[in-house]
Amino acid sequence: MTILVSLVPVFAHLEQAFAQVITTTVNNQPITNIDIEQRIKMLRVLRKPATPETALDSLIDDHVESDEVKKYQVRPSDADISHEIVRVAGEMKIDPNALVAELEHAGVSADHYKSYFGTKFSFYLLVQALNKGIEASETEVRAELEKEGGKTAAGVEYSVRQIILPLPANASQSLVEARSHLAEQIRTRFSDCASGVPMIQAMDDAVIKPALSRTSLQLGEGLKQLLDKTQVGHVTAPQRSASGIEMLALCSRGNAKDDTSARDAIAQKILAVRYASEEAKLLKELRSHAVVQKR
């Protein structure tokens, strides 16, 4: 009986090995049926066509792009992978953590989606490096700005003051509850920044940071929604952070006067379209020279 039990993991490993079949090779690099299954699951989460054919096509792209970036010794870091996840999540209008959770819930392995995002980020960097002459002219930016409404395209500008009720890392539950109670008292008493800021400054156990202005184009969607729901002169709900209990006092909200952020965003959109075009051209060329063999 002992022998049979000890062999169970071995049989399981062998079963998995036999279940994995190479269906295609790209420049002598294998793509297995397991890879295709993983890619189908991932494409579904990314809201893209998810058939065996589209999955295989996506994997071929990965191999071709990966081979090319390796020639230039471009290797994505964990930060690069995170950056790409944030970018894709932004396009999907969901939180990056929610995207990762969806992928894992769908059964996509971390190795699979990290490899995908890392390859995409690296290939895009390579395309940028190979096309340094591409730029968005002032005339183009101005024209797009007018299309988007001129001054109104600058978005909404928020002026906030960060309030922190410090807590030590090893704070007791009773201390956390006391600070949370104080935070709620501050929210109740804080009705405008003119009187509220001096009130916080007079407290020994609270810190209020200098005023900070940001436009809606510079903020993440989550923070933007939070500030839009907050009445001017009032404070957002307290949240626990590494520093303690934090809140934001919204001192003003109105149309942004400076269109720098809008102009930068428009320029980035123009460049993104042009880089995408160059990316597609390079990928098409690389695939034309790739050795793809289906079994």
Q: Are residues 117 and 76 in the same domain?
A: yes
Q: Are residues 117 and 196 in the same domain?
A: no
Q: Are residues 160 and 121 in the same domain?
A: no
CA distance 243 to 168: 8
- On whether residue 193 sits in a domain, the answer given is yes
Q: Average pLDDT in the 223-236 region?
A: 92
**At residue 154, does pLDDT exceed 80?**
no
pLDDT tens-digit series, residues 238-294? 999 888 999 999 999 987 666 666 667 777 788 888 888 999 999 999 999 999 998
Q: Are residues 199 and 108 in the same domain?
A: no
- On whether residue 51 sits in a domain, the answer given is yes
Q: Are residues 180 and 242 in the same domain?
A: yes
197: domain range? 156-255
pTM of the model: 0.60
- On whether residue 177 sits in a domain, the answer given is yes
- On whether residue 12 sits in a domain, the answer given is no
Q: Are residues 277 and 249 in the same domain?
A: no
Q: Are residues 125 and 40 in the same domain?
A: yes
Q: Are residues 282 and 198 in the same domain?
A: no
**At residue 10, does pLDDT exceed 70?**
no
Report the CATH number at residue 94: 1.10.4030.10
Predicted confidence at residue 262, as pLDDT, reads 67
pLDDT tens-digit series, residues 11-43? 445 445 557 899 999 999 999 999 999 999 999
Q: Are residues 217 and 169 in the same domain?
A: yes
Whether residue 39 contacts residue 58, with contact meaning beta carbons closer than 8 Å, is answered with yes
Query: Count of domains in the chain?
Result: 2
Residue with tokens 């191999």: 63
- On whether residue 139 sits in a domain, the answer given is no
Q: Are residues 68 and 170 in the same domain?
A: no
Whether residue 62 contacts residue 119, with contact meaning beta carbons closer than 8 Å, is answered with yes
Dihedral sign for Cα atoms in the order 44, 46, 49, 52: negative
DSSP 73: T
Cα 176 to its chain centre, rounded Å, is 31
Structure token digits, residue 171:
């704070």
Report the CATH number at residue 165: 3.10.50.40
Q: Are residues 87 and 165 in the same domain?
A: no
CA distance 251 to 215: 14
Predicted confidence at residue 242, as pLDDT, reads 83
Predicted confidence at residue 231, as pLDDT, reads 94
- On whether residue 14 sits in a domain, the answer given is no
Tell me whether strands 207-208 and 212-215 are parallel, antiparallel or unpaired. Answer: unpaired
- On whether residue 87 sits in a domain, the answer given is yes
- On whether residue 125 sits in a domain, the answer given is yes
Predicted confidence at residue 258, as pLDDT, reads 61
The strand ranges marked E within the chain are 22-26, 29-32, 156-166, 207-208, 212-215, 239-240, 244-255, 292-294
Q: Are residues 244 and 278 in the same domain?
A: no
Question: Side chain identity at 20, as an amino acid letter?
Answer: Q
Using CA atoms, how far residue 200 sits from 175, 176, 191, 267, in Å, is 19, 19, 12, 41
Q: Average pLDDT in the 50-69 region?
A: 96
CA distance 202 to 119: 53
